[in-house]
Amino acid sequence: MCRSIKTLRRADEPATNDEIHAAALQFVRKVSGYRVPSRVNAEAFDDAVDEIAEAARRLLESIASRQTAGRPAA
């Protein structure tokens, strides 16, 4: 896939919204083949970035929740 998309799941700190958006943007650029879409395709491009960013955010939150759910309370 795209080497510039970095791993966002980290034990030390959660991914920022900017990091998630940047990864989504890189993914959409790679899949669509457009670095910058035409005006005709801009809305579809931006919607895809937003949807993928939201899906990535939910994934990262779900993974974090499941990792901490199995730990005994201190």
pLDDT of residue 60: 92
- Average model confidence (pLDDT) for the chain? 86
pLDDT digits (tens, 9 = 90+) for 46-64: 999 999 999 999 999 998 7
What span, in angstroms and rounded, lies between the C-alpha atoms of 22 and 24? Answer: 5
| Other beta carbons within 10 Å of 52 | 19
pLDDT at 32 exceeding the cut of 80: yes
pLDDT at 1 exceeding the cut of 50: no
pLDDT at 3 exceeding the cut of 80: no
pLDDT at 34 exceeding the cut of 90: yes
Buried b (16+ CB within 10 A) or exposed e, 4-33: eeeebeeeeeebeeebbbbbbbbbbbeeee
- Residue 42, token pair as written in the block: 């801009």
* Mean predicted confidence (pLDDT) in 7-23: 89
